[in-house]
């Protein structure tokens, strides 16, 4: 274990600091926006702006990395991301925050791309699953810690913004000082959505569903808790419990999907997520215990859908096509995450905070109906030649490298980076 992790220790430390700062920022901004009097729609646009920037980062990040190199590109993106955090505390206009969130999304997409392509190159076929499992554990742990840092001070004060900025800035230090050799330049791939849909309609629809629902959850769940009468402590705990539940849910649903038709696991998780969403929407104001139980149940069912959808798609993709397929699925997620928060926040503006989960439940139910429709029409046995779910997680947990200018897909061995459950 030591021999495997020692060469990438600095990289993992940089990732931990970066993700901790991003976890704090991701929860702090919706809370502060609500306290500043932003409407639900304005807060929803904040979430959409981040994912718009993330998609742009996936498109243009590879060119920047090829031009500047991994270390210099990482330092540049960290400098911009750290500055942007502080700018939020100075420029309180919704328009300014939307632009800043686009910048943040682009920076973090590029940063994740650097980290995960580096991890991919420094691991082998024999230990890649272990390396990315460690990375995923670190990811979920530090994001949770970052969210809980919301309890350190009042969201209306400056210190929380400065703590997030400090963590993001410090993430450049381990990577800048490492003596490990840098990876080869990142290759880009060209996405062909018609071919991807023909390969796996349910896989593509599942990732779009996750973008619509989980993108809305990340952007608007803090507002939901606040409007239910919760303070910063309840917001931090609600979000942290959902993240931890999402981590817990990967194992049972992933294991189950290795044994039965993955479409049925997607069906099960969507039914569960829809049921939890309807319960949260109908309960109205609830005691903290029920609210936190709802967060756990939502994370347990909703967050594993992405990885199972990627695994299902990869069951029908040749190994050399994994990168192109996963890049397309990640962009489908990003498109959903750009649209979802705006739609959900508009509904919240009209029908109240609990309608956030009416929205997620309706999307999950639509996915249930689509999956039920598709299952009888799949000519191939869905369980044939299934890859291991653990191997699919390596692909599902990584960033997209997409060629926005067309051209053939170039390589099938690169990893694809991501940051979201």
- 374-415 pLDDT per residue, tens: 887 554 554 456 666 655 555 555 555 555 444 444 443 333
In degrees and rounded to multiples of 5, residue 296 shows phi and psi of: -65, -45
Identify which of 105, 107, 99 has the alpha carbon closest to the alpha carbon of residue 76. 107
| Exposed e or buried b per residue across 361-374, where buried means at least 16 C-beta atoms within 10 angstroms of its C-beta | bbbbbebbebbeee
Q: Compute the distance between CA of residue 23 and CA of residue 172 in angstroms, rounded to an integer.
A: 17
Angstrom CA distances, 178 to 64, 118, 184, 228, stand at 21, 12, 16, 47
Confidence of residue 9 (pLDDT cuts 50, 70, 90): confident
Domain at 188-404: CATH code: 1.20.1250.20
**132-136, 177-181, 259-263, 389-393: which range is least confident on average?**
389-393
Q: Report the alpha-carbon distance of residue 381 to residue 345 in Å, rounded.
A: 40
Q: What is the mean pLDDT of the chain?
A: 84
> For residues 21 and 292, what is the distance between their CA atoms, to the nearest angstrom?
23
> pTM of the full predicted structure?
0.84
Q: Which homologous superfamily does the CATH classification assign to the domain defined by 1-184?
A: MFS general substrate transporter like domains (1.20.1250.20)
Q: What is the pLDDT of residue 385?
A: 60
**Cα 400 to Cα 190, 215, 244, distances in angstroms:** 11, 17, 24
Residue predicted with more confidence, 247 or 120:
247
d(CA 384, CA 312): 11
Q: Strand, coil or helix: what is 156? A: coil
Q: Which two tokens stand for residue 166?
A: 């400090």
Distances (CA, A) of 168 to 32, 162, 165, 215, 222: 19, 10, 5, 22, 22
Structure confidence by residue, pLDDT tens digits, 136-172: 778 888 988 999 999 999 999 999 999 999 999 999 9
Token pair belonging to 420: 């979201």
Give the residue range(s) of CATH 1.20.1250.20 domains in the chain.
1-184, 188-404
d(CA 117, CA 186): 7
Listed range (86-100, 203-217, 321-335) with the worst mean pLDDT: 321-335
Q: Cβ(132)–Cβ(393) under 8 Å? A: yes
Give the three-state DSSP class for 189: strand
Cβ atoms within 10 Å of 177's Cβ, excluding its own: 10
Which pair of tokens denotes residue 197? 């849909």
Q: Shortest CA distance to 148 belongs to which of 289, 20, 321? A: 20
184-213 mean pLDDT: 85
């Amino acid at each position: 274990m030591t021999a495997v992790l020692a060469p990438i220790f600095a990289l993992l430390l940089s990732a931990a600091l970066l993700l901790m700062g991003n976890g704090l920022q991701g929860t702090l901004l919706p809370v502060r926006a609500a306290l500043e009097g932003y409407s639900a729609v304005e807060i929803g646009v904040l979430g959409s702006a981040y994912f718009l920037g993330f998609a742009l980062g996936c498109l243009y990040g590879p060119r920047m990395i090829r031009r500047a190199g991994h270390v210099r590109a990482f330092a540049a993106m960290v400098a911009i991301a750290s500055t942007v955090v502080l700018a939020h505390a100075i420029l309180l206009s919704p328009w300014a925050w939307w632009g800043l969130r686009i910048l943040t999304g682009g920076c973090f997409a590029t940063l994740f791309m650097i980290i995960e392509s580096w991890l991919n190159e420094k691991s082998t076929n024999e230990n890649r699953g272990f390396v990315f499992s460690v990375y995923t554990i670190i990811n979920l742990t530090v994001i949770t810690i970052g969210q809980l840092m919301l309890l350190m001070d009042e969201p209306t004060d400056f210190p929380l913004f400065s703590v997030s900025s400090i963590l993001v800035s410090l993430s450049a230090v381990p990577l800048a000082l490492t003596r490990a050799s840098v990876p080869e330049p990142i290759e880009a791939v060209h996405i062909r959505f018609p071919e991807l849909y023909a390969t796996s309609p349910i896989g593509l629809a599942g990732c779009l569903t996750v973008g619509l629902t989980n993108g809305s959850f990340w952007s608007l769940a803090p507002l939901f808790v606040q409007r239910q009468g919760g303070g910063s402590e309840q917001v931090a705990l609600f979000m942290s419990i959902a993240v931890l539940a999402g981590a817990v849910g990967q194992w049972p649903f992933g294991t189950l999907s290795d044994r039965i038709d993955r479409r049925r696991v997607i069906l099960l998780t969507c039914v569960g997520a829809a049921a939890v969403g309807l319960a949260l929407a109908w309960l109205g104001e609830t005691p903290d215990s029920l609210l936190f139980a709802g967060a756990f149940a939502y994370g347990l069912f909703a967050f594993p859908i992405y990885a199972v959808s990627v695994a299902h798609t990869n069951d029908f993709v040749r190994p050399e096509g994994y990168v192109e397929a996963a890049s397309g699925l990640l962009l489908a997620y990003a498109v959903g995450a750009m649209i979802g928060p705006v739609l959900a926040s508009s509904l919240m503006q009209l029908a109240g905070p609990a309608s956030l989960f009416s929205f997620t439940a309706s999307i999950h139910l639509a996915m249930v109906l689509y999956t039920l429709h598709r299952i009888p029409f799949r000519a191939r046995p869905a369980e044939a030649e299934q890859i291991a779910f653990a191997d699919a997680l390596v692909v599902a947990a990584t960033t997209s490298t997409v060629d926005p200018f067309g051209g053939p897909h170039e390589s099938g061995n690169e990893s694809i980076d991501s940051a979201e459950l």
